[in-house]
Chain A
Amino acid sequence: MVLLTMIARVADGLPLAASMQEDEQSGRDLQHYQSQAKQLCRKLNAQSPNRCTLEAGVMSFHYVLEHGVCYLALCEAVFPKRLVFGYLEDLQTEFHEQHGKKVSTVSRPYSFIEFDTYIQKTKKTYIDSRARRNLGSINTELQDVQRIMVANIEEVLQRGEALSALDTKASNLSSLSKKYRSDAKYLNTRSTYAKIAAGAVFFITLIVYLSCVLLPFITWRRTILLQFELAPDLTI
């Protein structure tokens, strides 16, 4: 059962038309889902996939994005995707034909609220089980249902990052790491040179020290020894 249908302008999330399930039995608190739907319409942009299913617990959001307008439906997760997307496509065709040209000019929310009557009728056609038998035409159109991306709604709302952004970040990362590698090599080489230079300096200093200090010492010792040898009878 489709509980909520919303048609909004992608550019700014302005709601254009909507329909909530008018049924005493549905009685669920749709407020929460309604606000999620509004947020979702605002988060979507031209880079978002144009057909997608978003899981939100026991319910699922399904949307179709076409010509800058988003067609969103909320239904139970077990509800067949084929039917929902058929329904959304139908709405998309009719809405675009009736109001497509005026979408960019309106500023008032729900300017096309009268489209609600068509939404209600279409809903009945797709949801009514007897009518399902007549919907063989859907099979041919929706061969790529499997290819429709499935994502989690929380992720989309909270992280809100398009895949393309991730891709850019990943390629950035690889070039950065390459740069890091070359920098590291360079530093390594430099440090080796520095070590060698330090060793050389130490060695030279050692030689200089030996030559300056040891040589005079050796000379002094020889002098003292010679003095002792030259004056042996000084004692009585």
Chain B
Amino acid sequence: PLLALRVVNLLQERNLLPLGPVTPPTPCLPQDLQKINCHPEVFRSTLTSIPQTQSLLNKAKLPLGLLLHPFKDLSQLPVVTSSTIVRCRSCRTYINPFVTFLDQRRWKCNLCYRVNDVPEEFMYNPVSRSYGEPHKRPEVQNATLEFIAPSEYMLRPPQPAVYLIVLDVSHNAVETGYLDVVCQSLLENINALPGDSRTKIGFITFDSTIHFYNLQEGLSQPQMLIVSDIEDIFLPTPDSLLVNLNECKELVQDLLRSLPQMFGKTMETQCALGPALQAAFKLLSATGGRVSVFQTQLPSLGVGALKSREDPNQRASAKDIQHLSPATDFYKKLALDCSGQQVAVDLFLLSSQYCDLASLGCISRYSAGSVYYYPSYHQQHNPAGVECFQKDLKRYLTRKIGFEAVMRIRCSKGLSIHTFHGNFFVRSTDLLSLPNVNPDAGFAVQMSIEENLVDMQSVSFQAALLYTSSKGERRIRVHTMCLPVVNSLSDIFAGADVQAITCLLASMAVDRSVTASLSDARDAMTNASIDSLTSFRTSVLTIQQPGLLAPACLRLFPLYILALLKQKAFRTGTSTRLDDRVFAMCQLKYQPLAYVMLMIHPALYRVDDLTDEGALNVSERTIPQPRVQQLSVEKLSRDGAFLMDAGSVIYLWIGRNCNPNFLTQVLGLPNYAAVPLNMNMLPELDTAESQRTRVFVGWLREQRPFFPILHVIRDESPLKASFLQNMIEDRTESALSYYEFLLHIQQQVSK
């Protein structure tokens, strides 16, 4: 804590970034509790020391909230099969490492403080085969674990894995060539789809009419059934539109092979997305499951048709941005119906023109689906995009999935949760309905302190996710986190987690942009940094010095706020397509913390002089760890090469006078002039430098579930502008430089 409160004068110290990644602060708990506390990648709080009263929290001017990644792929997950799941009698909290045992037979809940009895079966520890030590059981030794749920936790028998693919086959769609990629990917991964022998699959294609496919076992080839009455959609046959994958595999494979040719010459330009979604809902409403919709243009026909609302002249508007909210509530209503029947809709938008993602995105947002966006997707013109789509599809089809899930977040008496961020539907005060849960979704909640937390050393939070696995097993994943309670402002500041605060502010700002206006949201973010630094200055600092003073743990806060203001979602004055902006907003709310931070503040590394000094040794590979640089053109030296990791995209910038060694050894090119304008791959050369660079890039890529495209940038590259837009510390014609921003804040703080 002392280090965290070290005062930094932001105006003087230029180099604030740590050498490596920013590490989350450690809560000030006794070591034995902190050792078993929940991992920060799964469960994180904006303030690792919880204020004792709401008034204290208000004085600190920092938001209080939790960020979770509950279904993250974990390498180690203890699974408990027990006939009784021990829960508190009044608040129904699961027993966890932070309860207190009064004696061997009674335990005190750490959320509501009620004393409960330890059931007889719990006294026996099957792991150590000992009796009488309930505190050694795995439920009390692990903050993250999974229970196999008994039948009381099921409203109906576990559903099978059901997948429905809905494809746009209008002329525009077929022209982009995406159909080949999707069919190919499905053919390759058909055996890797999560499920068991009950897995079901179905297909719907649509243009101005809806096409269903009869895949009944015994047919010699798939049969297409066309429904042209899109005003009143019905299912042409009662069954065999959704078939058992194992039994009808050959028919499914036949269909996937013939689909691209079937529509190769189509001249249909209309697109009836709304009726197709209604048909999908009808088909899946009996069982629940996942719908994957692929769309390439604005829906023009039938219910849910949308008009183009974007005004290209307003893209670079310095004032407010319009049309951030949905144009129709058809998609939201349908999403809520889907959520009620345990159907989730994932949307893939592959379009070069405006598609009103603000309205279409609702279908995924409320049904716990995910949105994927590939602007300007085209087979020939954008081969890098094709590769990205292929890799993302592979991950999407093969990743772990949970069905008919619900999640509840509980916190200690005195705290209450009031706002939720993420893709789901809030069913009652704190029950989140998630028809599908996937390992790439993040959630955030905001909390307030209802009653003063006096006499409490610590508070706990528990997130419980009840879901059906793809193999028909009902499971409960429980994460519990414990944090200390403090009653002084300096302790609160010492425990502030700047990355979590930034992410929560980003989610809050997205909500504000849609309900109020974008400029409101921007002002709110700037004020957040001003207010918290003012509060630090007036309440915590004992000696008043000139300059802009911040505690070490919050030294990056103004930098992150500036990065948010310049982020695609919130920037003004720079030409931004409306769909790009809306997608950036969706990602800020949906992605887990680590990837949001990369989106907001990309990591810049110098790569032309990679060494093995300080390298990581992971599974026999030596991964170089270059130092993270500031995002300023100042740092780009003409005779070097720099790699910028922006989460979903990686830029490799080559300086004009770049070290010729780098060019030959890593890029395999004789000189700078030979660098092509659209290079996307590092050639596999047999040199040490090439090896190191590729290992480094590979390491960055495998840490995330989506595939970032690599772009090699030189002076005349078309993507140079987007690369430079990420240089947030620099001044642009519409935004302040970092130093100017600090001066602006200082002016406000000193008032």
A110-137 with Cβ < 8 A to chain B: 110, 113-114, 116-117
- Partner pick for A31 among B155, B198, B287, CB 8 A cutoff: B155
Given A113-B472, A114-B196, A117-B244, check contact A23 B160 (CB 8 Å): no
Given A19-B157, A116-B160, check contact A109 B472 (CB 8 Å): no
- Partner pick for A110 among B151, B197, B285, B286, CB 8 A cutoff: B151
One digit per residue, 1 when the CB lies within 8 angstroms of any chain A CB and 0 when it does not, for chain B 260-288 equals 00000000000000000000001001110
A60-117 with Cβ < 8 A to chain B: 107-110, 113-114, 116-117
On whether the beta carbons of B473 and A108 are closer than 8 Å, the reply is yes
- B193 CB, nearest partner CB in chain A, Å: 16
Q: Report chain A residues within 8 Å CB of B286.
A: 22-24
Q: In whole angstroms, what is the CA distance A113 to B154 when docked?
A: 13
On whether the beta carbons of A38 and B151 are closer than 8 Å, the reply is yes
Q: Report chain A residues within 8 Å CB of B148.
A: 108
Q: Which residue of A lies closest to B197 (CB)?
A: A114
A44 at the interface (CB under 8 A from B): no
On whether the beta carbons of A107 and B83 are closer than 8 Å, the reply is yes
Q: Which residue of B lies closest to A14 (CB)?
A: B151
- Partner pick for B151 among A15, A23, A116, CB 8 A cutoff: A15
On whether the beta carbons of A117 and B198 are closer than 8 Å, the reply is yes
Q: In whole angstroms, what is the CA distance A14 to B244 when docked?
A: 27
- A85 CB, nearest partner CB in chain B, Å: 22
Q: Report chain A residues within 8 Å CB of B198.
A: 113-114, 116-117
On whether the beta carbons of A22 and B287 are closer than 8 Å, the reply is yes
On whether the beta carbons of B285 and A24 are closer than 8 Å, the reply is yes
B81 at the interface (CB under 8 A from A): yes
Q: Which residue of B lies closest to A17 (CB)?
A: B157
- A105 CB, nearest partner CB in chain B, Å: 13
- A215 CB, nearest partner CB in chain B, Å: 87
B236 at the interface (CB under 8 A from A): no
B381 at the interface (CB under 8 A from A): no
Q: Report chain A residues within 8 Å CB of B244.
A: 117
B190-242 with Cβ < 8 A to chain A: 196-198, 235, 238
- Partner pick for A109 among B154, B247, B285, CB 8 A cutoff: B154
Q: Report chain A residues within 8 Å CB of B151.
A: 14-15, 38, 109-110
- Partner pick for B81 among A19, A108, A114, CB 8 A cutoff: A108
- A125 CB, nearest partner CB in chain B, Å: 14
Q: In whole angstroms, what is the CA distance A24 to B148 when docked?
A: 31
- B262 CB, nearest partner CB in chain A, Å: 28
B474 at the interface (CB under 8 A from A): yes
Q: In whole angstroms, what is the CA distance A30 to B157 when docked?
A: 12
- A217 CB, nearest partner CB in chain B, Å: 87
Q: Report chain A residues within 8 Å CB of B196.
A: 114
Q: Report chain B residues within 8 Å CB of A17.
A: 157
Q: Which residue of B lies closest to A34 (CB)?
A: B156
One digit per residue, 1 when the CB lies within 8 angstroms of any chain B CB and 0 when it does not, for chain A 8-42 equals 00000011011110111000001100100010000
B158 at the interface (CB under 8 A from A): yes
- A39 CB, nearest partner CB in chain B, Å: 12
Q: Which residue of A lies closest to B149 (CB)?
A: A109
On whether the beta carbons of B197 and A117 are closer than 8 Å, the reply is yes
Q: Which residue of B lies closest to A31 (CB)?
A: B155
On whether the beta carbons of A109 and B282 are closer than 8 Å, the reply is no
Q: In whole angstroms, what is the CA distance A31 to B197 when docked?
A: 26
Given A20-B156, A24-B282, check contact A109 B150 (CB 8 Å): yes
- A163 CB, nearest partner CB in chain B, Å: 29
Q: In whole angstroms, what is the CA distance A164 to B247 when docked?
A: 48
Task: Give how many A residues have a beta carbon under 8 Å from the other chain's beta carbons.
Answer: 21
On whether the beta carbons of B81 and A107 are closer than 8 Å, the reply is yes
- A111 CB, nearest partner CB in chain B, Å: 9
- Partner pick for B157 among A14, A18, A23, A24, CB 8 A cutoff: A18
Q: In whole angstroms, what is the CA distance A34 to B83 when docked?
A: 22
Most chain A CB inside 10 Å of its own CB: which residue of B149, B238, B286, B473: B286
Main secondary structure of the interface of B (DSSP, over half): loop
Q: In whole angstroms, what is the CA distance A17 to B196 when docked?
A: 14
Task: Give how many B residues have a beta carbon under 8 Å from the other chain's beta carbons.
Answer: 26
Q: Report chain B residues within 8 Å CB of A20.
A: 156-157
- Partner pick for A113 among B155, B158, B247, CB 8 A cutoff: B158
Q: In whole angstroms, what is the CA distance A168 to B701 when docked?
A: 75
Q: In whole angstroms, what is the CA distance A19 to B157 when docked?
A: 7
On whether the beta carbons of A110 and B83 are closer than 8 Å, the reply is no
Q: In whole angstroms, what is the CA distance A24 to B238 when docked?
A: 9
On whether the beta carbons of B238 and A109 are closer than 8 Å, the reply is no
A210-234 with Cβ < 8 A to chain B: none
Q: Report chain B residues within 8 Å CB of A117.
A: 197-198, 244, 247
Q: In whole angstroms, what is the CA distance A232 to B244 when docked?
A: 145
- A16 CB, nearest partner CB in chain B, Å: 10
Q: In whole angstroms, what is the CA distance A114 to B195 when docked?
A: 11
Q: In whole angstroms, what is the CA distance A24 to B155 when docked?
A: 18
Q: Which residue of A lies closest to B160 (CB)?
A: A116
Q: Report chain A residues within 8 Å CB of B83.
A: 107
Q: In whole angstroms, what is the CA distance A167 to B474 when docked?
A: 43
Q: Which residue of B lies closest to A114 (CB)?
A: B197
Q: Report chain B residues within 8 Å CB of A14.
A: 151
One digit per residue, 1 when the CB lies within 8 angstroms of any chain A CB and 0 when it does not, for chain B 493-520 equals 0000000000000000000000000000
Q: In whole angstroms, what is the CA distance A15 to B235 when docked?
A: 33
- A166 CB, nearest partner CB in chain B, Å: 31
B638-668 with Cβ < 8 A to chain A: none
- B495 CB, nearest partner CB in chain A, Å: 42
Q: Report chain A residues within 8 Å CB of B473.
A: 108, 110
Q: In whole angstroms, what is the CA distance A61 to B146 when docked?
A: 36
Q: Report chain B residues within 8 Å CB of A109.
A: 149-151, 154, 474
Q: Report chain A residues within 8 Å CB of B156.
A: 20, 30, 34
- A57 CB, nearest partner CB in chain B, Å: 21
Q: In whole angstroms, what is the CA distance A30 to B196 when docked?
A: 25
Q: Which residue of B lies closest to A26 (CB)?
A: B286
Q: Which residue of B lies closest to A41 (CB)?
A: B151
Q: In whole angstroms, what is the CA distance A17 to B198 when docked?
A: 12
On whether the beta carbons of A110 and B282 are closer than 8 Å, the reply is no
Q: Report chain B residues within 8 Å CB of A116.
A: 157, 160, 198
Q: Report chain A residues within 8 Å CB of B472.
A: 110, 113-114
Q: Which residue of A lies closest to B83 (CB)?
A: A107
Most chain B CB inside 10 Å of its own CB: which residue of A14, A18, A108: A108
B468-487 with Cβ < 8 A to chain A: 472-474
- B139 CB, nearest partner CB in chain A, Å: 17
On whether the beta carbons of A23 and B158 are closer than 8 Å, the reply is no
Q: Which residue of A lies closest to B475 (CB)?
A: A108
Q: In whole angstroms, what is the CA distance A110 to B197 when docked?
A: 14
Q: In whole angstroms, what is the CA distance A31 to B323 when docked?
A: 43
Q: In whole angstroms, what is the CA distance A66 to B447 when docked?
A: 55
- A81 CB, nearest partner CB in chain B, Å: 25
Q: In whole angstroms, what is the CA distance A80 to B474 when docked?
A: 35
- A192 CB, nearest partner CB in chain B, Å: 61
Q: Report chain B residues within 8 Å CB of A19.
A: 157
Q: In whole angstroms, what is the CA distance A34 to B151 when docked?
A: 12
Q: Report chain B residues within 8 Å CB of A31.
A: 155
- A73 CB, nearest partner CB in chain B, Å: 14
One digit per residue, 1 when the CB lies within 8 angstroms of any chain A CB and 0 when it does not, for chain B 15-49 equals 00000000000000000000000000000000000
Q: In whole angstroms, what is the CA distance A217 to B735 when docked?
A: 145
Q: In whole angstroms, what is the CA distance A31 to B156 when docked?
A: 8
Q: Which residue of B lies closest to A12 (CB)?
A: B83
- B736 CB, nearest partner CB in chain A, Å: 58
Q: Which residue of A lies closest to B282 (CB)?
A: A24
Can you give 8 contacting A-B residue pairs, CB < 8 Å? A31-B155, A108-B473, A109-B150, A110-B473, A113-B198, A116-B160, A117-B197, A117-B244
Q: A-B pairs with the 10 shortest C-beta distances?
A: A18-B157, A109-B151, A22-B286, A113-B472, A114-B197, A15-B151, A108-B148, A110-B158, A114-B198, A117-B198
Interface residues of A (CB under 8 A from B): 14-15, 17-20, 22-24, 30-31, 34, 38, 107-110, 113-114, 116-117
Given contacts A109-B151, A113-B158, 11 further A-B contacts (CB under 8 A): A14-B151, A24-B282, A108-B81, A109-B149, A109-B474, A113-B472, A114-B196, A114-B197, A116-B157, A116-B160, A117-B198
